[in-house]
Structure 1
Amino acid sequence: MSKFRGAFVAIVTPFTDGQLDEQGLQDLIEFQIANGTHGIVPCGTTGESATLTHAEHRRVVELTVKTVAGRVPVLAGTGSNSTAESIELTRAAKEAGADGALLITPYYNKPSQEGLYQHFKAVAAAVDIPIILYNVPSRTAVNMLPETVARCAQIANIVGVKEATADLNQISQVIRLCPKGFAIMSGDDFTSMPTVMIGGTGVISVTSNVEPKDMAAMMDAALAGDIAKAQELHYKLLPLMQAMFIDTNPVPAKTALMMMGKIKSGLPRLPLYKMNEANEEKLKKVLVGYGLV
């Protein structure tokens, strides 16, 4: 059975005065584990990987692995739009002791399907670590097709994919074409429950940052085939899931964590910017309604 199963949190990277808040990150990890999160994903999109220096990136992964101390799997974001850089970051994650590496499809340079395959093949050949591919066309301007995922799945250490297309047709095709035991994780909170219902293994979640307990419970119920409980939690969580995207991710998640008293500062790094007052009010209303503040 794949270790990449259930609700993994795409954890935010807290900053204080623009610098990495190490204690804040450790506190967030403890909050996650205490509330039943199945895995931690540092340095993903939600962790603002795009504005971390390489030294910070390495430090966040090292600190996460050290703090987690084997209690749950750590899947480190190591992708880039440069294959050489992806290899370097993936090597660093392996050296830090991460359980796996999450590799986004190269963004901005728009590789062909063959280019995508060759990119992932090169990283997998260079670093012997379990790799989860990450397909998020809304951010990268490239959609990795199910056939390409299936080709990559033939490579021994490519063990899964995070599908953030929010397209159950495409996700179904990926599941149909990939070998049994290949981890299929939703990259959208909204489609996490239905993804598991059609054969997926879990979610890499933004909403888990603020409500890890219910996200983990929903995934547990869905994986156990308890449709009634999974549906009930899906609809309970839906307003919260929607609130996490009223501004660019991770701005709402960080703002919510600050409102909840979980981090000192909710400010992202530029070019991301704090929420406007109207959106902040909307977010607060949802958090109050959920009983989080």
Structure 2
Amino acid sequence: MQYSLQGAMTALITPFKNGKLDEVQYAKLIERQIKNNIDVVVPVGTTGESATLNHEEHRRCIEIAVDVCAKSNVKVLAGAGSNATHEAIDLAKFAQSHGAHAILSVTPYYNKPTQEGLFLHYQAIANSVEIPVLLYNVPGRTGCDLLPDTIFRLFDACQNIFGVKEATGSIDRCVDLLAHQPNLSVFSGEDAINYPILSNGGSGVISVTSNILPDQIAELTHLALKGDYHGAKAINDSLYEINKILFCESNPIPIKAAMYIAGLIDTLEYRLPLCAPTPANMKRIENTLKKYTIKGF
């Protein structure tokens, strides 16, 4: 089965105010993404601090994203992962019932399943819903690596598993995946290498940087998908400095700080154990932002 989910996608931050989800600001941030040509928004992934949201907040973020995007052609790829399969299934079913176009499901963290356990985990999730399922491999965060052979098994076994968000940081891994299964949709999960992944046949990017520069990430992605690799590389090169500074501390610490400095969020709040960047890094982020044109609301 072929799915049309591709292009420039934003791994949305989750804004807080006085310790609670700032629903009004969240909707405004999504509207800004729509205005700046992003194809898909991704609520409650790693960048959305999903690990520290309660279940009610997680569901509410999905609801808001679906409601805001309903007025546009922008799709919602809802974060719906967990280290417990039954919880991941519950989130997947919720996302489907509330109109999400697809789900993004991170590998189970902490419990270190085997490859067979990963296969059974994702098979159970995929079989519980009808909407498309995108695998999410980020071993640096989860301590768990979804290997190519397991991805190929899942792609063959589950009709609605259509691809993977590749966040190992390895170009070799992306080449391996597409060389052996060219129908697999591979999405860049690391902004610094968006262009190399797209030029290797990637279907799009799931970007942190596009929270603050959605127009430029959208243009880069759309140029590459049209075959204008020269133009796409030029944008990727110009974004190198901001892509790197946004990972000077654990994501999403720097991107939230950048958005606060740029006036895109009213308060700089995180959920512990995440906290504000060091004063030195805050200054580095501020100095880097001066080199870019950031569109407001």
TM-score, reference length from structure 2 = 0.96
Check if 1:147 corresponds to 2:137.
no
* Counterpart selection for 2:106 from 94, 104, 107: 104
More deviation, 167-176/45-54: 167-176
1:7-39, Cα deviation, whole Å (9 max, x unpaired): 100000000011000010011001111111111
Give the total of aligned pairs. 292
Distance 2:205 2:148 in 1: 18
* Aligned residue in 2 for 1:132: 134
Distance 2:95 2:181 in 1: 26
Distance 1:18 1:167 in 2: 36
1:173-211, Cα deviation, whole Å (9 max, x unpaired): 11122252x321011111211111111111100000000
Distance 1:158 1:49 in 2: 22
Check if 1:265 corresponds to 2:246.
no
Q: Runs (4+) of structure 1 moved beyond 6 Å?
A: none
Distance 1:240 1:266 in 2: 19
Check if 1:156 corresponds to 2:173.
no
Distance 1:239 1:48 in 2: 24
Check if 1:38 corresponds to 2:39.
yes
* Aligned residue in 1 for 2:227: 225
Give the unaligned 5+ runs of structure 1: none
Distance 2:228 2:153 in 1: 33
Instruction: Please give the secondary structure, in 1, of the residue aligned with 2:291.
Output: helix
More deviation, 169-178/267-276: 169-178
Distance 1:72 1:28 in 2: 13
Distance 1:241 1:24 in 2: 24
Instruction: Please give the secondary structure, in 2, of the residue aligned with 1:267.
Output: coil
Distance 1:191 1:88 in 2: 33
Check if 1:166 corresponds to 2:169.
yes
Task: Letter of the 1:277 partner, please give it.
Answer: P
* Aligned residue in 2 for 1:203: 205
- Structure 1 contact 147–177 (Cα < 8 Å) conserved: no
State the 1:291 CA deviation: 3.2
State the 1:47 CA deviation: 0.3
Taking the TM superposition and a 5 Å limit, the aligned residue runs for 1:244-259 are 244-259=246-261
Task: Letter of the 1:193 partner, please give it.
Answer: Y
Give the unaligned 5+ runs of structure 2: none
Q: What RMSD in Å do the two structures reach over aligned CA positions?
A: 1.2
Task: Letter of the 2:14 partner, please give it.
Answer: T
Instruction: Please give the secondary structure, in 1, of the residue aligned with 2:75.
Output: coil
